[in-house]
Amino acid sequence: AFYHRGMHIVAAMLLAQTTQLLGYGWAGLFRKYLVDSPYMWWPANLVQVSLFRTLHEKDKRSKGGLTRLQFFLITILTSFAYYTIPGYLFPSIGCLSILCWIWKKSITMQQLGSGLHGLGIGALSFDWNTVVSFLGSPLSTPCSAILNTMAGFFLFAYIIIPATYFSNSYEARRFPFISPKTFDHSGQTYNISRVLDAKTFTFDEHSYNSYSKLYLSVFFAFNYGLSFATLAATVSHVALFHGKSIWRLWSKAKETLHDEFADVHSRLMKKNYAQVPQWWFHILLAVTFGLALVACEGFGGELQLPWWGLIMACAIAAFFTLPIGIITATTNQQPGLNVITELIIGYIYPGRPLANVSFKTYGYISMSQALYLLGDFKLGHYMKIPPRSMFIVQLVGTIVASQVHFATTWWLLSTVKSICDTDNLPPGSPWTCPGDDVFYNASIIWGVIGPGKMFTKQGVYSGLNWFFLAGALAPVPVWLLSRKFPERKWIRLINMPVLLGATGMMPPARSINYLTWGAVGLFFNYYVYTRYKGWWAKYNYILSAGLDAGIAFMGLLLYFSLQTKDIFGVEWWGLSQDDYCPLARCPTAPGIEAKGCPALQ
């Protein structure tokens, strides 16, 4: 859709299938620590546990109160009915940027006030989908993780970025305040066709030297720096806070679980169910890896990724599964491997965008899939589901789901005119593909131009490499303070990987997503939890499940009954999915021209 190139359907299908299954192959290595350990509690699973208990257990109704099932049904029906407003009649309610209504001609105020393209100061949302769409349900996220995330968001978005932008560091004012796009020196969208050889689909250095270096919005650039810091902080944090327990556990790998790790769930599971044999995982890994090799080396090398690149991607993913798994299992936040994989292959094998994309997909998605499987094993741990049954169901479900997803994507790319092309799509179109747009621009940065021309002295952003060192050192003061003052338990709750990686989803996530997520999460997991603990314990997770389910059912109903037939609501300003802050996307440097923006002198 973005590079306007065809691809063999079998190669595409194998890519989709193998990236979903590779991580399952090495997930078995980490069950002992990430599943059996009671310290790895996987907060997101508590919503599903509460839902299953609500549906299958009898609950006595208290006088004047509701059973959990009654509460769930009321919530899902309310959410189902309400979603007709943000999902069909009034989509703009997803982000109401009040400052933009007041200062209609001020670029600065719209940059500060836009919830979609700026900092979101004063912006409001009345759409649960906005709250959960990128960061997951705040009701299932521990309060400490919410505080770490919001502290990182405010530090980055409200202090570092404005200071950098308005001081014009990295010529920031030539470009929009927040944008996932790539730009040339004149502030225009980078014309990638000018630096790509049309025949070989590889980087043309001569054309690049005669055109322009590649520039990013300051928010996008610094977010890459924070990604460097987050990954380094993850390794450092896990080594400092969990290193001893990991070593003790792995030193007893062939023994029964140590008492420290054998909680009631582990004892019941070991007593009643046979574990999944390790060779099941080995066979799955071997078969999937073989198919991945066919996808990479076959079909005329369409993916541009050689066999050694696939091995390296898998090694990186397997190495980081444990440290990132610990962060995910304790905070409900998952640092990504997307940037480090792009960085590594971009240095080693530059100028090949599809090789970069393929390497990132195998390195990042396979790790994520390993963690999804481990998280589901933990759900089975809580619900006493036989591990072998869980493994088989997950395997079959993943194969079927990935094929359905692939077929749907192929069909959409073949039938929807101008899909993902924001310049040619009509206003308010649902086919803008914001996540895929970020993915595409990342392939330009890391795959076409490459980190050697972006993050070294040849490029603009060499200073961002210091974020690796800063991230590695960041957990050290917290660790030292936690050892000096062990009685102050709150110190250990300062999680630098979560804090530094807070804005890792931006873009495509927007400020309004973070602000509403944090506000809702703190209200329920701090205020309601401390004031009405009984209500929170009984209904909090059920509320999250009901809100999600209501939106899902109404979303399907609206799509298949109305939107597929091009039946939309009455034309009015609230039907747009924009927040009416057009100037928030404007550059502020004199002499830079941008469509729809005033000329500054």
First vs last C-alpha separation in the chain: 37
Q: How confident is the model at residue 335 (pLDDT cuts 50, 70, 90)?
A: confident
Predicted confidence (pLDDT) per residue in 294-327, tens digit: 999 988 888 989 999 999 999 999 999 999 998 8
Q: Please write the tens of the pLDDT for every residue from 119-156.
A: 999 999 999 999 998 999 999 999 999 999 999 999 99
* Average pLDDT, rounded, for the chain: 89
* Helix/strand/coil percentages in the chain, nearest 5: 65, 0, 30
The reported pLDDT for the residue numbered 83 is 94
pLDDT digits (tens, 9 = 90+) for 436-467: 888 888 888 898 888 988 888 888 898 999 99
* pLDDT tens string 493-519: 999 999 999 998 888 899 999 999 999
Residue 168, pLDDT score: 92
pLDDT at 529 (0 to 100) = 95
User: Alpha-carbon distance 107 to 588, whole Å?
Assistant: 8
Condensed to tens digits (0 to 9), the pLDDT of residues 413-431 reads 888 888 887 777 776 677 7
Give the pLDDT mean for 328-336: 86
- Asked if pLDDT for residue 388 goes beyond 50, the answer is yes
pTM of the model: 0.88
Structural tokens at position 117: 């393209």
Q: Check whether 189 has a pLDDT greater than 80.
A: yes
pLDDT tier for residue 255 given thresholds of 50, 70 and 90? low
* Residues facing 183 on adjacent strands: 189, 215
Tokens of residue 257, six digits: 């679980």
- Crossing angle between the packed helical segments 9-27 and 387-415, to the nearest 10 degrees: 160
- Give the model confidence (pLDDT) of 201-250 as tens digits: 888 888 988 999 999 999 999 999 999 999 999 999 989 988 887 777 66
Q: Which of 400, 451, 324 is nearest to 40 (CA)?
A: 324
Residue 191: which residues within 8 A CB-CB, separation 6 or more?
184, 211
pLDDT at 389 over 50: yes
